[in-house]
Structure 1
């Protein structure tokens, strides 16, 4: 079960959806929510600007003051949003007391979002983040770090607050270690789901197709209402087939592995995974 969830508090408009999604995952287990805010490291920014030949001393001082003021404002906004969220849902804040129900705390670090998410995430049962948005490379870096560097499962919040979790769980199954880890990580939610549908996009390998039946036999020990759907591509990309089927099934959660097709970090995600990370209307639980 999930007892300790890490949730970034960015101070941005997307925080509410992330917080609410995290609460849906935490409430059944009376878990602890650690809200992590990462302040911009003004010193690092100044060093970067100075090596780039930015202005003189007066201009630099003015820029430092401006960046520091903005960082304090964002931190204050994040702190306020977490406070309002906890008050709205009756979640006690402060020093956590294991076993006493839902709880939350607000932590602040300074530096790189991706670095701190990686470090804190390794000690969480589940990391909950928002989807990447167009033009926001930092958000994609955080997603990559949370998935690739923590060794922990990642729950990606959708664009809008989900109505329920887990509800109907759709497993995007491939006979790979990544998919197996994702299913194992999702078991606390799979066991509580109204139904579980294992979806396999058939790509011509019969031995791998039969693996979905083996998964079915295993998962029925966790949730009797589990079935398999094997789908043809019919000229479509696998991700399109999966998302169309998830829509038809009114999925409340998609479980899938995080796949890579290159050893270079710059292009670590394949098209399937990157499409999912870019944001869909259903929460996605991933593992690598």
Structure 2
């Protein structure tokens, strides 16, 4: 099993170039076709019919968007040629939460960037990452907004709780796991945890993964009841020297709002290494 097609979301944010560089290296590792999908924040036209003079603002915003898209497209094709990779460029027009998912569903792996409150250009739509994770039906590799990262997968931490989402994440991450030098499967318990009868033990799922030729070290930690699971995961990442987290994304959609589970919310806000999320 491998990723044969990778899609990387590109915009006008500061972190776009590092994200593209990571996607190029991953495409090279997995011998995959790379799609660069350009999508940025697009002001709603109806909002500019209220105030006089705003039509000119909208036109200028469109002009700058197309100019930046052209610059990034030239860079993308140049990098494809330099890396000797096959790929394509797509500029998606419209509200990102609507126009990106149909393209994302065609890829084996999606590379996105974490939202960065310090960079307004990183905002493309409300809860953009959450919407793609929930709607794409494909694994999303989320790259942190701060720090410098080599393509991940040297030491992978799997967050395991026996759920459907965690099971899906492990299966979606198999290409990374197969290339990893070390894989740690971690279960986090709290002191008051009750035994769940139908929960799959970590040792059992590790054996299933091992049948794919992946050696897995099983690890369990117990934390205080008031310690968030997400914080425990990040603490283990630091302690073990992991460069990637694989985890299920716990969320549901309420109209246009995404409601995240606690661990997922913590990781999306405070991630320190790239995270592969599956729903």
Q: TM-score, normalised by structure 2?
A: 0.87
1:86 aligned onto 2:80: yes
Cα distance in 1 for residues equivalent to 2:157 and 2:79:
29
How does 1:115-130 map onto structure 2 within 5 Å?
Answer: 115-130=98-113
In structure 2, list runs of 5 or more residues that go unmatched: none
Output the aligned Cα RMSD: 2.3
Cα distance in 1 for residues equivalent to 2:54 and 2:129:
32
Greater alpha carbon shift after TM alignment, 269-278 vs 188-197: 269-278
Q: Does the 8 Å CA contact 1:26/1:33 hold for their aligned counterparts?
A: yes
Cα distance in 2 for residues equivalent to 1:278 and 1:70:
30
Cα distance in 2 for residues equivalent to 1:171 and 1:83:
34
Q: Does the 8 Å CA contact 1:155/1:286 hold for their aligned counterparts?
A: yes
Change (3 A) 1:259 1:165: same
CA deviations 1:157-185 (Å, max 9, x no partner) are 12334224310110011111111110000
In structure 1, list runs of 5 or more residues that go unmatched: 93-101
Q: Does the 8 Å CA contact 1:21/1:161 hold for their aligned counterparts?
A: no
Aligned length: 270
| Aligned match for 1:237, one of 208, 225, 228 | 228
Change (3 A) 1:165 1:61: closer
Match of 2:39 in 1: 38
In the TM superposition, residue 40 of structure 1 has moved relative to its aligned partner by 5.8
| Aligned match for 1:268, one of 241, 259, 263 | 259
In the TM superposition, residue 10 of structure 1 has moved relative to its aligned partner by 0.6
Change (3 A) 1:254 1:240: same
Change (3 A) 1:263 1:2: same
Match of 1:287 in 2: 278
In the TM superposition, residue 245 of structure 1 has moved relative to its aligned partner by 0.6
Cα distance in 1 for residues equivalent to 2:214 and 2:9:
35
1:47 aligned onto 2:46: yes
CA deviations 1:84-109 (Å, max 9, x no partner) are 5435xx234xxxxxxxxx32221112
Q: Does the 8 Å CA contact 1:24/1:165 hold for their aligned counterparts?
A: no
CA deviations 1:119-169 (Å, max 9, x no partner) are 101111011100111275536532122101111110111233422431011
